[in-house]
């Protein structure tokens, strides 16, 4: 087992006092490491789902919320048991290499471009997404996560689609998660790309409004994968499989679809069974 993984597991087990000797027997439910994007954490969704799984199974879930790129690297190094990520093109090489197996669509939501409520670049009045980005490039400031996350990868792809080199923009990279990046964009009176769930969860403390939404290129797809135990020693395969199965259960899918609907008047995530890209 890689040293980094041993340290993560040891910390989780000791901190939660699962055993007196920081070890485990075959009779104990065990611990899994879930490497996931910050949007599932910042939105509060994992706070809704993980305790239910832990209560039912006795398995402890150690959540490592990082950008998708970092979560995939953890998987490739054998330092996680399961990942929940949202960058299909970045996921593909790990599937091809055999580091990730059993991929399943869990849910979708969408990205939105947010900016100052007075929209100084007039992005909201642009006829389409590339035109809106062109307007921001010409007349606005932009704050990027710059952290190799799924959101950062999508941002770069959208600039490319619009024929814009982000190196030439008034653009700041935070190197931080979505919540921190939204806060900085609000403080800077700048635009940024965000998943809708995190924006809605933090909207009341931000001076930002949605200026671009609804384009098909803004669809945000979340997959869960198992880290392949045949390639990486120490993977808690049975527990990880149980977690992915839990995410796909009808009751859990229903919880995902209802998550914070009463608060925001709309679903923050669309469960796989209702997703426009199918439930495979």
The confidence score (pLDDT) of residue 28 equals 61
CA dihedral 269, 270, 271, 277 (to 10 degrees): -130
The confidence score (pLDDT) of residue 42 equals 87
Kindly state the tokens that stand for 263. Answer: 């608060």
> Do residues 103 and 229 both lie within one domain?
yes
Cβ pair 64, 175 in contact under 8 A: no
Task: List pLDDT tens digits, range 221-238.
Answer: 999 999 999 999 999 999
> Do residues 56 and 122 both lie within one domain?
no
3 has pLDDT over 90: no
The CATH number that applies at residue 45 is 3.40.190.10
280 assigned to some structural domain? no
196 assigned to some structural domain? yes
Domain C-terminal end among 199, 218, 237: 218
Q: Containing domain of residue 141, as a range? A: 110-218
The confidence score (pLDDT) of residue 77 equals 97
CA distances from 20 to 10, 16, 50, 57, 102 (A): 12, 10, 24, 20, 34
The confidence score (pLDDT) of residue 273 equals 87
The confidence score (pLDDT) of residue 63 equals 97
Task: List pLDDT tens digits, range 42-101.
Answer: 899 999 999 999 999 999 999 999 989 999 999 999 999 999 999 999 999 999 999 999
Residue 127 is given by DSSP the state S
The confidence score (pLDDT) of residue 277 equals 72
> Do residues 101 and 119 both lie within one domain?
no
pLDDT band at 27 (very low <50, low <70, confident <90, very high): low
Count of domains for the chain? 2
> Do residues 117 and 104 both lie within one domain?
no
State pTM to two decimals: 0.84
> Do residues 122 and 49 both lie within one domain?
no
CA distances from 229 to 54, 80, 200, 226, 239 (A): 22, 11, 37, 8, 12
pLDDT band at 16 (very low <50, low <70, confident <90, very high): very low
């Amino acid at each position: 087992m890689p040293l980094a993984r041993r340290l993560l597991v040891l910390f989780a087990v000791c901190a939660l006092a699962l055993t007196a000797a920081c070890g485990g027997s075959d009779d104990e439910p065990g611990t899994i490491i879930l490497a996931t994007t910050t949007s599932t954490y910042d939105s509060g969704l994992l706070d809704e789902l993980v305790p239910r799984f832990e209560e039912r199974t006795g398995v402890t879930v150690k959540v490592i919320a990082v950008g998708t790129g970092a979560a995939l690297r953890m998987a490739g190094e054998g330092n996680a048991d399961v990942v929940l990520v949202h960058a299909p093109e970045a996921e593909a090489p790990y599937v091809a290499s055999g580091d990730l197996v059993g991929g399943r669509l869990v849910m979708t939501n969408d990205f939105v471009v947010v900016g100052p409520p007075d929209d100084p670049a007039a992005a909201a009045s642009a006829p389409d997404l590339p035109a809106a980005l062109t307007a921001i490039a010409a007349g606005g400031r932009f704050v990027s996560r710059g952290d190799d996350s799924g959101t950062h990868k999508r941002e770069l792809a959208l600039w490319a689609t619009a024929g814009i080199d982000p190196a030439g923009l008034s653009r700041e990279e935070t190197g931080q998660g979505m919540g921190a990046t939204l806060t900085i964009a609000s403080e800077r009176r700048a635009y940024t790309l965000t998943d809708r769930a995190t924006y809605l969860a933090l909207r009341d403390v931000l001076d930002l409004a949605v200026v671009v939404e609804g384009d098909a290129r803004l669809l945000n797809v979340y997959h869960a994968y198992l880290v392949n135990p045949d390639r990486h020693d120490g993977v808690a395969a049975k527990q990880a499989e149980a977690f992915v199965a839990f995410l796909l259960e009808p009751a859990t899918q229903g919880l995902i679809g209802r998550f914070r609907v009463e608060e925001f008047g709309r679903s923050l995530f669309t469960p796989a069974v209702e997703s426009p890209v199918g439930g495979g």
